[in-house]
Amino acid sequence: MNTLQPQHPHDCDRCIFLGQYYDGARYDLYFCDRKSENRNLHILVARFGSKPGYDFQYQAESPRAPLLSQPLQAAQEMAGRRGLL
Ligand SMILES: [Zn+2]
């Protein structure tokens, strides 16, 4: 499995591709940099398809806020390891 390239194209030039999460579906995980709009806001995206709406998104002002889904928890961990949060 190639974990270096997103499988589901994502039309956002501000998203940083973090990696993938697999639980039967394959998720592309992104961190969306919105710091220039609101320096406290971060957005995590777990995309499981290319069409609009085929993703889970999470935005919060605190990186410690609880997350709902495993793919987004994986995205949070990856973003944290890369120093993005
Ligand atoms: Zn984005």
pLDDT recorded at residue 29: 94
* Helix (H) or strand (E) run with residue 44 in it: strand 42-47
Instruction: Please state, in angstroms and as integers, the Cα–Cα distance from residue 76 to each residue in 10, 26, 51, following that order.
Output: 18, 16, 23
Percent with pLDDT over 70 in the chain:
79
Q: What is the pLDDT of residue 20?
A: 93
- Residue 80: phi and psi, rounded to 5, are -65, -40
Cβ pair 71, 46 in contact under 8 A:
yes
Q: How far is the CA of 24 from the centre of ligand 1 (A)?
A: 24
pTM (two decimals): 0.77
Per-residue model confidence (pLDDT) at position 1:
47
Residue 23, CA distances (Å) to 38, 41, 58, 59 in order: 32, 28, 19, 22
Mean pLDDT of 49-72: 75
Centroid of ligand 1 to alpha carbon of 14 (angstroms): 5
